[in-house]
Chains A and B, each alone.
Chain A
Amino acid sequence: MKSDLSFALHRIANHPERILTAMFVVVLAFLVINPLIEIIHDSLVYQSYDLAYFPDAKEGEFTLFHMTRVFTGRLSNSLFYRPFVNSLMIASGVTALSLFIGTILAWLLVRTDLHFRPAFTALAVVPYMMPSWILALAWLTLFKNDRVGGAEGMFTFFFGIQTPNWLAYGMFPIIICLALHYYAYAFLLMSGALMTVDSELEEAGAICGLSRFRRLAKITFPLLLPALGSAVVLTFIRILGTFGTPALLGLPVQFYTISTRIYASLNARNMGDGFVLALVLVVMAIIFIYVNSRILGVRKSFVTLTGKGFRQRPISLGAWRLPLTAVVALFMAVTVFMPLLILAWETFMLDPGDYSFENYTTHFWVGESDYELASGEEGIIHNDNILSSLWNSIKLAVSAAIFNGLLGILIGYAIVRGRGTKLSKLLEGMAFAPYIFPSIALGAIYLGMFSTDFGPIPALYGTFALLVVITTVKNLPFSSRTGIAAMLQIDKSLEETARVQGIGWFRRMWKIIIPMSTSGLMAGMLLTFITAMRELSLIILLVTPSTMVMTTVIFAYQEQDATQHANGVTLILILIIIFANILVRRLFGSSSIFGLRQT
């Protein structure tokens, strides 16, 4: 009996990943599953809003009212079915387009002898660093027609013809703008994967007499498939939940998506409808992940980072080298420099949209308070609010990045080493779950969860710590994916060698695993940093005046129609992110910028 117990203990001690996994499952059950249960619960009970239809009902009583309303009622068509189809079409369109752009770009920048590759590689992720609605605003500046009135779009201004509605608003521009923002996922994943494809494998194929095409189809493509799968999952689900761009470009032609419907429901404090629709997204995401994992199935992992030799030879583009460089340069100009330029330009304009010379001013940057301008708001560099929010943003993003980096590696380790067990699968699913929550709903639920003591957890509400917690949780899907990817590439044999020598777990982690995954770790941290800097709806219910961050300041300026101030702060935000990115690359020289790799 005793020996059984000590044997069992020994077995567990031999599997530190199981202890880790169990620990994470418990913590995530509280942080992730609990909110999910709340959402399900709230969608199945009467809310204050429903009393209009049921004056005698009591708040909190069980009802299928929202379920039937959303799925079968007379509203279901415009509340659910049509937006649902729109969401699916947008998500498919964006996924296809961004995969196309991302893959080609990744191949050109990783495997070929294109000019200026380092510069292009750095620029390729800049669109992702900007808030996604910036491209939508730029699109409107270029293509809007007289349907939304106001100043003319540039196209109309120069060519004198009104752009058709389908070009200016709705599905088409939404897909283009989102794809130009989110191709970053595909680009990062594919370049990560391409970087680890050993040319020797392809050459081996060539020696065996495979044609160029067959080599691509039989060797390179299967190796890239997992990355492709991850890119599809990440992009597709992210697009389903995106709100800003569909709202800006869809509303003028009454084009709704599930996410704009959720936002409107939550805005009317109709939590029931909002949460039922949110559940649809959750279920969609789960199905999508499941199908994806079934298709990729056993192929999921390829170990490419071993102790053995590795070599990559760039492919010569020949006569195509110059033209392709030009095309990529043009692409960067349109997606990176143009939106930034428009943004910067507008901060110097007294009246946005008037490009004449006497309309330029530096007031919004350096001016003192002047009643006639910007409702008396001081210029950006004098503005205490902006400066303190800037500091808060950086504090938040850095702390979230550190937590996410560490958690990512540990979760990745636990999942990869325990691969195949049910517990490992469970943890993987739980770590990905925050990705599918609408941010605003998660914020609302955390407000409730953390406003009182809960067992050993103190009431964090109103503290900066809570902002760090929720940001960390929301970014867990990315950091755990990065962690998994990094771990998958480290061959188990490396750690086993150390174990044979009797080296303990902590030392193994510290001396082998963490150093080998530095690039992945930094990558995950940088990604969290970027997302945290840009986060708004997640934390808006949780911030206090002393914990105001830049995005909440931007939001306030936009509400006041202080375009120049809003643009100026946005510009600072983007520059900080870009600067942090350069800094990390300099310090750690990570060849893969984000290391978002296949898992």
Chain B
Amino acid sequence: MKRYVGTIASTVCAGLLAFAPVVASAVSQPTPPPEMDAWLKAAKLGKYAESPQNWDEINRLALEEGEVVIYSSSSRIAKVAKTFSVEYPGIKVTSYDLGSVKSVEKTVREQDANLFNADIVTTGGSGQVVHELWAKNRLVNFVPDQFKDSIPLENREPVLVRILEALVFMYNTEAHPDAPAIKNIWEVTEAKWKGKVVLKDPLASLSNFMGIATIVQHADELAAAYKRHAGKDIVLHEGVPDAGYEFLYRFLHNDPVILKSGSKAAKASGKKGQKSPPLFFGPMTYYRYNGTKGYVNGLAVNLDPAAKVIYPTYMAIGRQAPHPNAAKVFVAYLLGSTDLKADSKLEQPYNKGESVKLLKGLAPYFDPGSKSPRDDAPFPAGGEVWADMKAWMTDPAFMFSEGPKVRDFWIQESGS
């Protein structure tokens, strides 16, 4: 009962928050300890941030520092490093491609041991980044002035978003040429798709898990969608608190196929020439394989009650970072050029020529399924559909306080 109330409460909150501009949820950063405070002062960060930022000074100091160290959940950061070093030959980029879990783990373990190596930490996992890193003074948020107007508040507070990505359902368009294979999310809990939904193990993938948890979070909307689909009110199984968990319960008892790799899952649904291909749940970024690997995945664009769950990958400056100014320069680089506009003409390959001058650090991430946190950045070819798909946002507070319970529910109801 208690859990039920909690879930309802957070659902309602999340619902309200979706309409009101989000101002840093309940979490806040504690007062920094003296050594961190001294560093903040020297680096002009946190409460010592200058307004306006003096970018001539920052660039000069960055060159003096000569290096920037990045902990990243994304392997594509190495590609950013390549183009960055062309523009800033004086700054050496050292990037650690760690994956989301290890980026957090390494940051926490090092800082606990008084080692401050990371200048920038860029990773996903809302609950952990906001609550375990930022709210514990392990990260400092930094937003370049030139982007303050173009990045909506929820994408820069409490921690700046580097890129937004979405979790979606995809289906094989060869097997379902006329219309999306599913229209209502409850269909995946029915006999037709028994043993026919493929996804990367959410217990091993933070992003997929955020998708699952965010669906569970929207219990009321799921209940309403159920009624639209089945024409009657949903009946919960015994011990299941709400329609959110009921969805997960039925989904798990419909024998989903768990894989170790997300790209294999995208191949499972998207490979041509299959007799009865499964559905895919996971990052929309695999949609790009239609172009590069000849898959025939289609997006369930009009899925009721929502067609995508948006999850952020954050970037922030590490506590007591040894190269804070180089970090600021790199953060700005990752957001793209200020000349980039919604109608900018961009051509493949994005990491060359005029395109890379506009996109800068966005170039490697400029594909369907990703979106810049800036609202003045264009969509890549094929990615325009993003705007048409109804979205749920992942909520760091829910992820932190309820995530473990959703995860436990998953463990409890799965496994043979």
Q: Do A and B associate with each other?
A: yes
Within 8 Å CB of B101, what residues of A? Answer: 266-269
Q: Which residues of B contact A (CB under 8 A)?
A: 75-76, 79, 94-99, 101-102, 104-106, 109-110, 112-115, 117, 128, 131-132, 195, 198, 201, 203-204, 206, 209, 255, 257-261, 263-264, 267-269, 271, 274-278, 292-294, 348-349, 351-352, 364, 400-405, 407-408, 411-416
Contact between chains at A269 and B261 (CB < 8 Å): no
Q: Tell me how far the C-beta of A69 lies from the nearest C-beta in chain B, rounded to whole angstroms.
A: 9
- Residue pair B79, A52 in contact (C-beta under 8 Å): no
- Rounded to whole Å, the gap between the CB of A561 and the closest CB of chain B is 4
Binds B, one of A14-22, A147-155, A198-206: A147-155
- Nearest neighbor of A354 in chain B, beta-carbon distance: B294
Interface of chain A residues 241 through 266 with chain B (CB within 8 A): 247-248, 251-256, 263-264, 266
Of B94, B114, B277, which contacts A149 at CB under 8 A?
B277
A447: interface (CB < 8 Å): yes
A-B contact pairs, 17 of them (CB 8 A): A50-B404, A52-B405, A146-B275, A146-B276, A148-B268, A149-B257, A150-B274, A254-B255, A255-B415, A255-B416, A256-B416, A267-B203, A269-B104, A351-B293, A452-B113, A452-B114, A558-B261
Pick from A78-86, A320-328, A573-581, A591-599 the stretch touching chain B.
A78-86
Q: In the complex, which residues of chain B have a beta carbon less than 8 angstroms from the beta carbon of A55? A: 401
Which of B75, B259, B276, B407 sits near A252, CB closer than 8 Å? Answer: B259
Determine, out of A98-106, A189-197, A294-302, A537-545, the stretch whose residues face the partner at the interface.
A537-545
- Shortest beta-carbon distance from B128 to chain A in Å: 7
**A271 and B407 alpha carbons, distance in the complex (Å):** 14
Complex contact A251–B201 (CB within 8 A): yes
Provide the bound-state CA to CA distance between A263 and B97, in Å.
Answer: 19
- Knowing A267-B101, A462-B117 are in contact, say whether A150-B267 is a contact too (CB < 8 A): yes
State which of A53, A82, A151, A452 has its C-beta within 8 Å of the C-beta of B271: A151
CB pair B264–A148 under 8 Å, yes or no, is: yes
Residues of B within 8 A of A391 (CB): none
A559, CB-defined interface residue at 8 Å: yes
Alpha-carbon distance between A376 and B363 when the two chains are bound, in angstroms: 13
Interface hits, A93-151 → B, CB 8 Å: 146-151
| A454-470 interface with B by 8 A CB criterion | 459, 461-462
Please give me the 6 A-B residue pairs with the lowest Cβ-Cβ distance, nearest first.
Answer: A149-B268, A451-B113, A561-B263, A371-B349, A264-B203, A52-B404
Interface size for A (C-beta < 8 A) is: 58
Enumerate chain A interface residues (CB-CB to B < 8 A). 48-53, 55, 74-75, 77-79, 82-83, 146-151, 247-248, 251-256, 263-264, 266-270, 351, 353, 371-372, 375-376, 444, 447-448, 451-452, 459, 461-462, 540-541, 544-545, 556, 558-561
Q: Closest residue to B350 on the A side, CB-wise?
A: A371
**Residues of A contacting B404 with CB < 8 Å?**
49-50, 52-53, 268, 270
Q: Are A251 and B260 in contact, CB atoms less than 8 angstroms apart? A: yes
A residues in contact with B97, CB < 8 Å: 556
Residues of B within 8 A of A351 (CB): 293-294
Known: A247-B260, A269-B101. A78 touches B271 (CB 8 A): no
Residue of B nearest to A268 (CB): B407
Q: What residues on B are CB-neighbors of A48 within 8 Å?
A: 131-132
Given contacts A74-B412, A254-B416, 10 further A-B contacts (CB under 8 A): A78-B411, A251-B258, A251-B260, A255-B416, A269-B105, A372-B292, A444-B105, A452-B115, A545-B95, A561-B263
A-side contacts of B402, CB under 8 Å = 52
- A461 adjacent to B115 (CB under 8 Å): yes
Bound complex: CA A52 to CA B75 (Å): 31
Which of A49, A83, A263 has most chain B Cβ within 10 Å? Answer: A49
Whole-angstrom distance between the alpha carbons of A597 and B267 in the complex?
46
Q: How far is B261's CA from A113's CA once the two chains are assembled, in angstroms?
A: 47
* Residue from B113, B260, B348 in contact with A448 in the complex, judged by beta carbons closer than 8 Å: B113
Interchain CB contact under 8 A, A267 and B416: no
Question: Bound complex: CA of A462 vs CA of B75, how far in Å?
Answer: 20
Nearest A residue to B364, CB-CB: A375
Using Cβ atoms and an 8 Å threshold, which residues of chain A touch B209?
Answer: 268
Q: Are B96 and A545 in contact (CB under 8 A)?
A: yes
How distant is the Cα of A251 from the Cα of B258 in the complex, in angstroms? 5
| Pair A376/B349 contact, Cβ less than 8 Å | yes
Minimal Cβ-Cβ distance residue in A for B409: A75
Contact status A254-B258, CB under 8 Å: yes
Residues in chain B near residue A269, CB distance under 8 A:
101, 104-105, 128, 132
Q: Are B113 and A461 in contact (CB under 8 A)?
A: yes
Tell me which of A50, A55, A82, A147 has the highest count of chain B C-beta atoms within 10 A of its own C-beta: A147
Instruction: List chain B residues, Cβ under 8 A from A82.
Output: 415-416
Given A147-B257, A251-B201, A372-B292, are A559 and B269 also a contact pair (CB < 8 Å)? Answer: no
Distance between B105 CB and nearest chain A CB, rounded to angstroms: 7
Task: Kindly report which residue of chain A lies nearest to residue B97, judged by CB atoms.
Answer: A556
Q: Which residues of A contact B261 (CB under 8 A)?
A: 558, 561
Residues of A within 8 A of B292 (CB): 372
Known A74-B412, A556-B75, A560-B75: A448·B94 in contact at CB below 8 Å: no
Q: How far is the CA of A146 from the CA of B196 in the complex (A)?
A: 9
Quick one: closest B residue to A251, CB to CB?
B258
Instruction: Determine the chain B residues whose CB is within 8 A of the CB of A146 once the complex forms.
Output: 274-276
Known: A52-B404, A149-B274, A150-B267. A541 touches B102 (CB 8 A): yes
Chain A residues lying within 8 Å of B79, measured Cβ to Cβ, are 375-376
Q: Which residues of chain A are near B401, meaning CB under 8 Å?
A: 51-52, 55
Residue of B nearest to A133 (CB): B260
Chain A residues, Cβ within 8 Å of B271: 149-151, 353
A173 CA to B276 CA in the complex, in Å? 24
Give Cα A266 to B201, complex, Å. Answer: 14
Kindly state the separation between the CA atoms of A75 and B113 in the bound complex, as whole angstroms: 34
B168 CB, min distance to chain A CBs, angstroms: 17
Chain A residues, Cβ within 8 Å of B204 = 247, 263-264, 267
Return B117 CB to nearest CB of chain A, in Å: 7
Set B102, B275, B294: member contacting A540, Cβ < 8 A: B102
A252 touches B132 (CB 8 A): no
Assess whether B408 is in contact with A256, with CB atoms less than 8 Å apart. Answer: no
- Beta-carbon contact of B294 and A376 below 8 Å: no
Given the interface pairs A146-B276, A376-B351, the reply to whether A448 lies near B112 with Cβ below 8 Å is yes
Asked whether, in the complex, the Cβ of B198 is within 8 Å of the Cβ of A78, the reply is: no
Cα–Cα, bound, A77→B79 (Å)? 45
Taken together as a complex, chains A and B put the C-alpha atoms of A540 and B101 apart, in Å, by 12
Please name all residues of chain A whose beta carbon is closer than 8 Å to the beta carbon of B293 when the two chains form the complex: 351
Bound CA–CA A147/B76 (angstroms): 31
Assembly CA distance A447 to B261 (angstroms): 27
Nearest chain A CB to B138 CB, angstrom units:
11
A372 to B293, CA, bound (A): 10
B95 CB, nearest partner CB in chain A, Å: 7
Rounded to whole angstroms, the CA-CA distance of A370 and B405 in the bound complex is 45
Which residues on the A side are within 8 Å of B106 (C-beta)?
A: 447, 541
**Inside 8 A of A452's CB, which chain B residues have their CB?**
113-115
Report the Cα distance A545→B114, complex, angstroms.
21
Kindly list chain A residues whose C-beta atoms are within 8 Å of the C-beta of B258: 251-252, 254
CA A89 – CA B195 in complex, angstroms? 25
List residues of chain A with CB within 8 A of the CB of B405. 52-53
